[in-house]
Amino acid sequence: MGNKQETKLAVALIQADIEIGSPQENKKHLESLMESAVQANPKPDLLVLPEMWNTGYALEQIHDIADPEGEASREWLSSFAAKHEVMVVGGSVAVKTGDEIYNMMYAFDRTGLQVGEYAKLHLFRLMDEEKHLTAGTRLVQFDLEGVQAGASICYDIRFPELARSLALGGAKMLIVPAEWPHPRLHHWRTLLMARAIENQMYVIACNRVGSSRGTDFFGHSMIIDPWGEIVAEGSESEEILTGLIEPELVDEVRGRIPVFADRRPELYTDK
Ligand SMILES: O=C(O)CCC(=O)C(=O)O
């Protein structure tokens, strides 16, 4: 808290294409985009990557190519963060733990210290995720230099309870790595906007671009402020998207329309 809370954060979203089933190539490709992102002036404070960037949705081979214990991904993300003194939310990676595969987000501070770890809670049946992956079991938020960030991956944004619970837990930003395809651009934009407006929080969403096995991913990564204004929105091509986060704007908006004070939790169903 204290002064750190007032600090603005420059964010860069790495809206990359992903080669299905090719973790090494994807890492190399992302690294070159991340290297160019940190050369920007002003240098970003935080990098965010897309969902399942190591394997893409290669679900039939996922047991062979997922990262054992996430070790290689964590080591690489951590050393990139430390080398460039930049915070990194490493999108998500397919991780193998025993016989289970998780869609897992890792977050690091500027020293390379891991500050968060989140396994996707809601698995997306339309892409058979639930047949191959194991769902996470807990909500996660982590500290990014005095600002609480809530973790959410792709389909998770269809569940307003998740973002609301994170906001009630103190999150001022919702971070959303995704592989969200056509034809549901309208859903993507509307849901992200709604999560920002209803929770009066920043939404920072990084989607992939490109096509895999007949599915077209549209990018349109977004940074939305707590008033619902779009700070930045990507095209449908590969790019690095940047924007400035002003955490104090969250308090200002929450003060202006006191949604949290006006809730009637005694009337809402728990289940
Ligand atoms: O909810 C959607 O329409 C897309 C979700 C998705 O692609 C995912 O969670 O991987």
Instruction: State the CATH number of the domain containing residue 224.
Output: 3.60.110.10
267 inside domain? no
Tell me the ipTM for this assembly: 0.97
Q: Does 270 reside within a domain?
A: no
Q: Would residue 154 show up in a list of annotated catalytic residues for this protein?
A: yes
Atom of ligand 1 nearest to the CA of 124: 9
- Domain total of the chain: 1
pTM for the complete prediction?
A: 0.96
Task: With respect to residue 185, please indicate whether it lies within any of the assigned structural domains.
Answer: yes
Report residue 6's pLDDT band, with 50, 70 and 90 as the boundaries: low
- Ligand 1, atom 7, lies closest to the CA of 180
Summarize pLDDT for 214-263 with one digit per residue, the tens.
999 999 999 999 999 999 999 999 999 999 999 999 999 999 999 999 99
Within-domain flag for 42: yes
Tokens of 68: 């054992």
**Is residue 14 domain-resident?**
yes
Q: Which range of residues forms the domain containing residue 220?
A: 9-262
- The C-alpha angle 77, 54, 52, rounded to 5 degrees, equals 100
Residue 195 lies in a domain: yes
Residue 236 within a domain: yes
In a domain, 2, yes or no: no
Position 89 confidence tier, pLDDT thresholds 50, 70, 90: very high
Q: Which of 96, 117, 129, 154 is catalytic?
A: 154
Residues 6+ apart with CB under 8 A from 66: 54, 55, 93, 94, 95, 96, 101
Neighbours of 77 (CB within 10 A): 26
Yes or no: say if 153 and 177 are a contact pair by the CB < 8 Å rule. yes
